[in-house]
Amino acid sequence: MRPKGKAPDAITFVIDPGHGGEDNGAVGPTGIKEKDVNLALALKVAALLRERGFHVEMTRWDDSFPELYNRPKLAHCSGADAYVSIHHNAPAAGKNPKSVRYHAVYAWNDLGEGLASAISKRMTIALLNLVDGQGVLRANFAVTRNPEIPSCLVEADFISHPQGEKDCANADRQLLVARAIVSGLVDWAEGR
């Protein structure tokens, strides 16, 4: 359910920077780790949401690894209105990393799809002519499989792609993507 009519300070977003600790996630061609760019982007999203008056919880604030199932659990315990996991992608083994690059937002059910779609629309506008968008895709990830809380997983770019890696480590690009994610969350919260 969208928290329509609720004031921002009555709305809680849980932001989950994917991976962390010993789990690097994907690694780019020059060695940049997904866990680090996920955290950098997630911290920008959290800061922008707080500026707008929303309540924000993070599954991690540093290079630690919260257990996979504890991440959506935090969403339950904090009475979250929505849960967003932040990642950067890499292609399946055997594919040429130079040939695959897009952003996409993954949802598990209809509840998550509304949230995913709001974020995806804003990302598509922000990254027009920069990175192709695949829109909303369905996937069965542990962190988004949540029947009660609207949940989605953002794959902001491909860290495995040479230019993708440069862009996802770039602070200005992170801010552009963070602003798009936050605009999507605001659209969703306002029922647009």
* Contact footprint for Zn ion (CB under 5 A): 18, 25, 87
CB of 140 to Zn ion, least distance (A): 15
DSSP-derived letter for residue 27 is B
Nearer of residues 25 and 133 to Zn ion, judged by Cβ? 25
Q: Quick one: 12 or 174, whose CB is closer to Zn ion?
A: 174
Closest approach of Zn ion to the CB of residue 157, in Å: 11
Cα–Cα distances in Å, from 133 out to 10, 104, 122, 162? 32, 6, 11, 18
Closest separation between CB of residue 60 and Zn ion, Å? 13
Smallest gap, in angstroms, from Cβ of residue 190 to Zn ion? 29
Based on CB atoms, which residue is closest to Zn ion, 11 or 168?
168
Q: Which residue is nearest to Zn ion (CB)?
A: 87
Residues 6+ apart with CB under 8 A from 156: 41, 86, 87, 88, 103, 123, 168, 177
- Sort strands 151-158 and 103-107 into parallel, antiparallel or unpaired: antiparallel
